[in-house]
Structures are given as structure tokens and as C-alpha cells.
Structure 1
Amino acid sequence: MENTNENKHAYFVGGGLASLAGAVYLVQDAGFKGRNIHIIETLPVIGGSNDGSGSKQNGFVCRGGRMLNEETYENFWELTSRIPSLDIPNISVKDEILAFDHANPTHANARLIDKDGKILDAHAMDFDYEDRMKLLKLFFTDENELDHLTIREWFDDHFFTTNFWYMWQTTFAWQQWSGLFEFKRYIHRMILEFSRIDTLEGVTRTPYNQYESVILPIKKELDRYGVDFTLKRTVTDLEFEMGETITVTAIEYKDADGHTGQMNLNPGDLCFFTNGCITDNSNNGDYQTPAKYLPENPPSFTLWQKIAAKKSGLGNPSPFFSKPQQTKWHSFTATFKGDQMLKMIEAYSANKPGSGALMTFKDSSWRMSIVVSAQPHFRSQQEDTTIFWGYGLYPDLMGDFVKKPMIDCSGEEILTELIHHLHLEEHEFEIKQGVVNVIPVMMPYIDALFQPHAKTDRPLVVPKGSTNLAMISQFVEIAQDMVFTEEYSVRAARTAVYSLLGIDKAVEPVTAHDKRPDVLAKAALTAFR
């Protein structure tokens, strides 16, 4: 059969997971030539919000980590089943991840910790009658009735003091002012996690950080096809054909050296745009220096706003990026020479590295949590180096022990706060003697996708009337699915490719776990724990 796509070009604005996934589907399912696929990224490295970098000498850093789940994430697993492992011959990235996860199962023994350092029995959800009724009502409420509503507007005060809220909030990074619409989607989509939120047994871990375990293998596969990657280039505008249809005719850009230019699209060429990046304008500090809060002019949102003003149907970015004071939080990655700190955390939590998932200090003013991954978490991390990651949801509040807001704290000050929450003060000097670095990261828009909004504020993956433009991000509308996941990015990309090109292949559907009687019965029993 003749390949009608081999001379077409495709342009991806943004170098995150969605763009990489879209390129895979274009090459493998649509017959595109790799050299005709162009991925354009502002940063000097691809991967978007799936990042991981550093060295033994200067310390390692991940801005964040995305939870994976074996029983959902249908298109993510389909994509990674196509990608060869970098380390193990003749198996896929999917099989590599699942084999590692099965060999290192998660079962948190210290999910919640109180102000006295006591590990709490988090098995009980702590709901009262009103909490249960409000959850039940939300489960059956039409999501189209929830525009602009927040979680706080739905639930009473007691709900926000329950074990469930502390665990659900910190597992997924919710705020009380987050959108109720998204919260409902999570209740449905992650219903299997409801009954095991205290142990996080449903969390699927990668062998290394997600940049090295997911992004790099996909990049190598795309390199094999000759896909064109252009880094340190910011797309500043999209030009459209006159008329009611949505047809991109040119892509304007500016390079890091100040050079500007334009790429023209021919008939049949495609444009895929990551309309909003949650790690836009992030900034790293170090052991002695706080990270900077730099919310002005996030590039992906700015571009989205510009093109949405030109054409109807491209969404409304304002609800998502206009309140960085609500969407920001702080993460940090600590690097140590030796394993003394990790041994202390292991003795405290009864979880060896990689088995415990989140530990949340529920009474901490910053709402601080930490994760100790299986070591090594970075390929270049040597045996005498260990790391862990943490984050705080309330970076503007005063620390409980370091009397400064987290946003103003250096890496050392964040570590001091953590040591006191672990009640390891007597070991503070020796712990700090082993520090290589503690790198704080400020992310002004990390929770932007949870902001209250109207359902129509998110554009469709392929907007109505589009002939060659698709939106592939966490800020598009995909029925039934939930944002802030790897699955959402891959599902958007696959939907975009198949829809724009009329490919007669099915995107993996959302698994209806929320309609299984056994799952519903277990969830009902959990609500009374």
C-alpha cells in the first residue's frame, strides 16, 4: 500500500513525553520519515517535566516524579511496550519497569507521621457520616455541574483533618482550593488506590528516575529513526491561515542566542503543541542558596494565550496560569556521601529504600513529605552516594523549626527542618557532615492543572475545525481521564496522531474499574475503616 505520509513534516512544540510519544506513533503507525519529524524544545534537554540530572560531586536533582500504576495507564504501557530497554537485551521498557517493580514492591509502613514523630496508624480513613455522604454524592454527580468549584466548597472542615485527606492530598499534590472537577476524576480513575492509599501498594516504580528510565529509551529509539531535535529554541507564535478553519501555516521562534526565524508548513504538514508546561519557570537553589520564585511570562502558557486569542476553540489558559501563588510548591533533592541518613530513615520507618513511597509529616506547616527511592536512583550515582527527594505543599508558611517560609530557605535549612521532624536532632551534625548538596526547586505552576476552571477552558486534543493542529498536554480535555499523569500525555499524543491522520486504530480506552462491583464494594468498606 502506498505511504501517503512519507513526505509530510510534523512539528512538535515542546520536548516532553507527549511529543516523544507522538513522534513514535507517527513513525511506527503513520509511516512518517523520522527526518521529517521536528521536536522543538526551549530547554537544553528534552523530557519536559520528566527530568533527572546531576553528579556525585554537585548533587543530583529531580524537580518531581510522576506516579505510575500498572492497572491503569493503558496507553503509557502500550507505548513503552514498543520501546527497547537500554540495559536488558530483548525486552521492552514496559517489561523492564514492571520486572523491577515486582522485585521491589511498595508497602509504606510510615505513611503519616505526627508532630511528635510518632508513626500513625493510617489504615483508618477517619471519615464521619458527612464526609462519606459528600464523597458518595460527588461520585454520582455529573461532572458537567462542577465548573469552577473547589474541593473546599464541597466538603466540610472535618474532611480536611482525616487521614484520607492527608494521604490523598500528598500522594497527588492537591490543595483545598484545587478544582472539584479534577478531584472527582481522580476518585473514579484511581478508585483502586482508595483502599490502599495507606500503603501505596499500587505505586509502580521505575529502575531509575523517570528521565533515565522512560525518556532516554524513547529518545534513543527516535534517534534510530533520525528524528530531528532542536534544543534551546522557544516557539513564540503560530501563524494561521485566514478563515474559520484552524490551519497552522508557520511557526515563529527565538533561539537562546537571540536569533529569530520562521518555519513554514506546507499542505499536509502537522503541528502538535504542548499548550502549557507545569515546570515552566522552575528554578534551582543549592545547599546555601534558596531557589528563586520567578512566575513572570511562562513561555508555554504565553504562547497558548497568544494563539487562543487568534482562533476560537483553542481553550482559555487564564484559569490555569494567572494565580501562581496558588499553583506553586517546593521540592528538594538531597545527596549524601555514604548511607548514614538513609539508614536512619530506614530504621525509623521500617522501610528499606524503594519500598516505602511517601512519608508525610502531616502536622508540618509546610506539609512536608519525603520519598526514599531504591538506590541508585541515577545512572551515574556511585555506591558511596545516596539520595532522597521531598516536597512541601505550603512553601509560603513559616517552618516549625526553621523560622522562615520554605520559599526563602536554602537546602541546608530545609534539611534542618526535616531532621527535626524526624526527631534526629542529636545526629544533626554528623548527618550534615555527609551532605554533598540539598537542591531546592521552586515551581510556580506545578499545580496549575488542578486549578478550578470550566470544562470548556481546556481545548480538545484536535480542536473543532482544525486541519493540522493538535494540542497535546496536561491542559487538554480527554473524557474520563485524569491530569498530572504520564498516561494523560501519551493518550493525548496518540489521540492527536490517529485523529489528524484518520488512522483506523483504537486508542486504549480508560479501564472502567469504577464500574466493577468488587471494586465498588471494597471502596465502600474502606470508607468505614
Structure 2
Amino acid sequence: MNNSAYPAMQPVAHQTREQAIADGHFYLVGGGIASLAAAAFLIRDADVPGCLITVLEALDKPGGSLDGGGSPQEGYVVRGGRMLESKYLCTYDLFDSIPTLDGRGSVTKEIFDWNETIRTSSKARFVRDGRRENAPPYGLAETQLLTLGRLSLEPEALLGDSRISDHFEPAFFETNFWTMWSTTFAFQPWHSAAEFRRYLLRFAHMTPGFNQMHGIMRTVYNQYDSMVRPLRKWLDERGVRFRANTRVIDLRYDESGELNRVAGIVCEQDDRRVEIPVGEEDKVIVTLGSMTAGSSLGGTNRAAAFNHDDSTGAWALWKTIAAGRTEFGHPTVFADHVDESRWLSFAATLHDPTLFRLVRDLTGNVPGEGGLITFPQSNWLASIVLPHQPHFMGQPKDVDVFWGYGLFVDRPGNFVGKPMIECTGREIMTELLGHLHIQAQAPRILDDAICIPCLMPFITSQFLRRKRGDRPNVVPEGWANLAFVGQFCELPNDVVFTVEYSVRSAQTAVYTLLGLDRSAPAVYKGPYDPRVVYGAASALHSR
């Protein structure tokens, strides 16, 4: 890479805003969904030519946490599956402009059509003692309901950096409600009470059907194939430039004017350090942090290693640029507590239909219809999802793929006397088959399965306790050409750990940086609808 690949725009006197938009170059740090969305909004809503947009990504392909890949021979891998729902207004606004890979319509239309065909309706949200539980009751006591109500009404600022466990007695965390909530969203008792409150409000409209996963929407394939690939193709066709294997390590500033500016982007590529000059009319959009940084893959006969090293440099970059700058937030709040943010997922590739047939018979759901299946008796608090097949484009008809995860990775298993974090893929499958009470067919299933564990140290770092100012504003105060996007910037009312949050941050960044007379769609506020409030209250009080 050389600096000539990144033309720096010279200041031009008396430019109009339209001229600045047309002439300025846009540098997007990070290749996840937030940056891809920002590039699309720049092109679609600000008429920025794609050739003036450069995406700098430390890895060898875009997509960030929305990844997916593999083969029938080596096994498929997805680190997770993002659930969607009908009120993800920014996401559907974006993807309404993006054609599917086959060109039959927009990605948004495909998602809605698909979910009309296969509606999520779990008949086995829990499996206990090898038996399914259809629509398990929430089991909340009156005092717990009162606390939920208080949290919903109390201003977020009053919660500070308190934990969820600071507001509930231990019995709350034994209820069916908490087991469903924690495994659906990956909350832990020590996570942020403020974030928990946001989720209570944001998904209040889904409470009545929460115990059967009603309202949960999925993509036809994994999110990389269904969302990232079409978006990347659309951006490629418009000339957006992608620079893979380019790790951004610092920003250089010009603080001589009324507003501060980013004047340079310091990168490493091929063990060389280079600086990209940032001109007067250029803009820089940085994805802060990474929930899948440091991910480590194991294998069927190999446990995943616990990896503290973030090869993307996302956390190191945030720590570097935030040093001495409170307006850039406090990355250590999220990055330095991996014992509170890690868990392990796994993806299994099967060439034999036995397991899928047995799970279908047990649950009463065909793959793709049931959503998350949780084993409440699991020491790991393990859950699995059997998606519609094929889950990957090009996946053979005689191959099945499913995904699962465990929240308590340091506890010994019920059937395998080892912590989940130390288990091979085969041992994880053994534990799963034990909870399904599948004994006779277990050897056949285990001999066939390719199971790949994935340990993610930062996966729920965005849920860690935080207070006001720990997450910076999308456009930090006092800066002319810099914006932050992703899961670690502040968007009032919306909830992290969602595709929607990343897309909303991108839309907000583009419109604010460019001074466009537009705004992202408002966050849906179900609690302002009396029907939503009545439905949620009635469901929570049911025993």
C-alpha cells in the first residue's frame, strides 16, 4: 500500500456543502456491518461516488461479526446467529435498497417474505429431562414483577453502573423468565442494569409471545450469505474501495482550528507503517471495539484456545485514541473484563440426518421454525438452534448444520466432567446428546459430526456495567470530520448486541457528519402504546 492510493483533498475556499460532499474522501475504519451500512448510506442518501469511499479492514474479508464460512468436508462455522424482528426500522430501510444476490428483489423483501413462509413458533423453548416444554410460564413472584416495573419506569441515569443483580434477589435468576431472557439475549446477572432496562422497553411488544419466540425473524441463510454478501456486491458495483489486511493503529489530529479534525490515519500493512493523509473536506468514520475480537476456533478433537490477543487491533485503537480524550469514551470499561464478557459457541456439520430427525420428533418443530432450544438443567446453560437447511449457500442437500452456545463456560458439564471452555467439539456434542437423552444413536451421531467450538472473550462486552460517557456520542463534541459507529457508541433508547444498533449508528453518523436534512427512523417505543403495555403486563403476570 502507498499513500497515492488515498488522494488527500486540498482545502477549497467557499465551497458549498454539496461541493464538499462531492469532493471529500470518506475513510471507514473497520469492515463490519456498521461500516458497510455507512458506505451504503453515503452513496444512497448523500450521492457520494463510491470511488471516494475507502474501507480499511484488518481481516481478509468484510462482515465483522456477521461472518460465516466453511465446507462440508472441513465443517461450517458461524460464531453466532443474529435474530431480527419487525421493528428493526433502520436495518430494513437500508436493505430495502440492496438487491439479493439472485436479483429477485430486495434483501428486506426477501426477509419478510421468508418469515411469512416460516414463522418462528417454538413448541420446545425448554427441554428438561429429555422432554419438551411448550410455552413455559414465566414464574415471576409479585415482588419480582414490581422490580421489573420499577426498572422500566426509572430514568436510566439513576441506575448508574449498577448490575442487574443489584436490583433482584437471587430467586429471580432461577425463574423461567430469566432463563429465557438470559439465553435469548445472552445477559448475565452481573451485566448492566441500564442495558437490561433498555431491553425491557425495546422489546415490550414481544413479551406476550416471548416463551414461544413469536416475532423472531431470520434470514434465509446465515447473515453473511443473506446480508453481508449482497451489501458488499452492491458496494463493489459502485466502486467502493476495500483495503483488507490493513490495521489502523492511530489517528493524527489537527487541533489548530475552531473544531478539531482528523488529519491522518496511521496504519500497518504487511509489517509496514504508513499514514494516510486526511484532507480538509475528508471524513473519517471509525468502528469502535469489537465483540468478536480475539475469537479462537477449536475442532472436533481440539478445544478452542483462550486468546487475549486482538489481531484486528480494534480495542487497541480505541484505547490509543481515547487516551486523554474523555469525549472518545472509556474503552477499558468494556475491554478489560473478559471474565465477565466471554462465552463459547459451536457449529456442528452433520452428514447423517439422525440428529435432526430426533430433534424434530422431540420438539415438534421443523428446522427453522422452532428457534432457540435451551436446556435449563445444563451446568453450561447451553442452547441450540436448528435453522432451516441449507444454512449456507452451496451447502449440499445431504448435509445439516446447526449452532449452539453456552453461557457458563467455566462450569463442569453434566455428562462431560470438564468446563465447556476446555472441551473439544466431540465432548460438546456428547454433552448435548446427554441433555437430549439420546443414547442408542449417540455413537453414530458422534462419529459423523464435525463440531467446531469458538471461544469469544469479548462477545458480551457491550453489556458490561457502564455509566454516562463511557460510550461516546456518534459525532463527538468538538470534532468536525470524525464519527464513531458500531456497538460501543451511544444511541439513546436503542439496544446493543443487535444488527439494528450498528446500522442505526451508521445512518446517524452519515446524516450528522454531512449535515443532511434527514434522520434515522425513530426507535420503536412500544411502551407508549397502551395495548403493548397491557399485553406485556398480562403475559408477565401469568403463572
Shorter-chain TM range is over 0.9
- 2:6 aligns with none
- 1:141 aligns with 154
TM-score normalized by structure 1? 0.97
For residues 92-122 of structure 1, give each alpha carbon's deviation from its aligned partner in whole angstroms, at most 9, with x where no partner exists: 10001111111011111110122x2232344
1:476 to partner: Cα distance: 0.8
- Is the 1:38–1:227 Cα contact (8 Å) retained in structure 2? yes
SS at structure 2 position matched to 1:15 = coil
- Name the aligned partner's letter for residue 375 of structure 1: Q
Structure 1: segments with no counterpart, 5+ residues: none
SS at structure 2 position matched to 1:177 = coil
For residues 208-253 of structure 1, give each alpha carbon's deviation from its aligned partner in whole angstroms, at most 9, with x where no partner exists: 0000100011100001110000111110111111357431111111
Which residue of 174, 177, 186 maps to 1:164? 177
- 2:54 aligns with 38
1:468 to partner: Cα distance: 0.5
How far, CA to CA, are the matches of 2:354 and 2:310 in structure 1?
42
Alignment of 1:67-146 (within 5 A): 67-70=83-86, 72-89=87-104, 91-114=105-128, 116-146=129-159
For residues 64-94 of structure 1, give each alpha carbon's deviation from its aligned partner in whole angstroms, at most 9, with x where no partner exists: 1111001x111000000010111242x1100
- 2:4 aligns with none
- Name the aligned partner's letter for residue 262 of structure 2: V
Alignment of 1:490-509 (within 5 A): 490-509=503-522
- Is the 1:7–1:33 Cα contact (8 Å) retained in structure 2? no
- 1:518 aligns with 531
Is 1:431 the counterpart of 2:442 in the alignment?
A: no
For residues 396-426 of structure 1, give each alpha carbon's deviation from its aligned partner in whole angstroms, at most 9, with x where no partner exists: 1111111111111110000000000100022
- Name the aligned partner's letter for residue 335 of structure 2: F
| Number of equivalences | 524
Moved over 6 A (4+): none
For residues 126-147 of structure 1, give each alpha carbon's deviation from its aligned partner in whole angstroms, at most 9, with x where no partner exists: 0011111100111100101111
Is 1:181 the counterpart of 2:194 in the alignment?
A: yes
- 1:213 aligns with 226
- 1:152 aligns with 165
Which residue of 31, 43, 46 maps to 1:27? 43
- Name the aligned partner's letter for residue 27 of structure 2: Y
1:194 to partner: Cα distance: 1.4
- 2:424 aligns with 410
How far, CA to CA, are the matches of 2:77 and 2:97 in structure 1?
28
Is 1:396 the counterpart of 2:410 in the alignment?
A: yes
Is 1:252 the counterpart of 2:252 in the alignment?
A: no
- Is the 1:122–1:163 Cα contact (8 Å) retained in structure 2? no
Please, what is the CA RMSD of the aligned residues?
A: 1.3
Which residue of 450, 454, 457 maps to 2:463? 450
- Is the 1:56–1:380 Cα contact (8 Å) retained in structure 2? no
Alignment of 1:465-504 (within 5 A): 465-504=478-517
- Name the aligned partner's letter for residue 507 of structure 1: A
How far, CA to CA, are the matches of 1:65 and 1:295 in structure 2?
23
- 1:276 aligns with 289
1:310 to partner: Cα distance: 4.3
- Name the aligned partner's letter for residue 82 of structure 2: R
- Name the aligned partner's letter for residue 24 of structure 2: K
- 2:401 aligns with 387
- 2:326 aligns with 312
How far, CA to CA, are the matches of 1:142 and 1:311 in structure 2?
27
- Is the 1:246–1:311 Cα contact (8 Å) retained in structure 2? no
For residues 21-66 of structure 1, give each alpha carbon's deviation from its aligned partner in whole angstroms, at most 9, with x where no partner exists: 1001111111211111010111111000000100111110100111
How far, CA to CA, are the matches of 2:194 and 2:503 in structure 1?
21
How far, CA to CA, are the matches of 1:336 and 1:469 in structure 2?
47
SS at structure 1 position matched to 2:138 = coil
SS at structure 1 position matched to 2:242 = strand
- Name the aligned partner's letter for residue 109 of structure 1: K
- Is the 1:314–1:463 Cα contact (8 Å) retained in structure 2? yes
Structure 2: segments with no counterpart, 5+ residues: 1-15
- Is the 1:131–1:158 Cα contact (8 Å) retained in structure 2? no
SS at structure 2 position matched to 1:461 = coil
How far, CA to CA, are the matches of 1:77 and 1:127 in structure 2?
35
How far, CA to CA, are the matches of 2:310 and 2:122 in structure 1?
40
SS at structure 1 position matched to 2:524 = coil
How far, CA to CA, are the matches of 2:135 and 2:83 in structure 1?
20
- 1:57 aligns with 73
1:264 to partner: Cα distance: 0.6
- Name the aligned partner's letter for residue 373 of structure 2: M
Is 1:11 the counterpart of 2:27 in the alignment?
A: yes
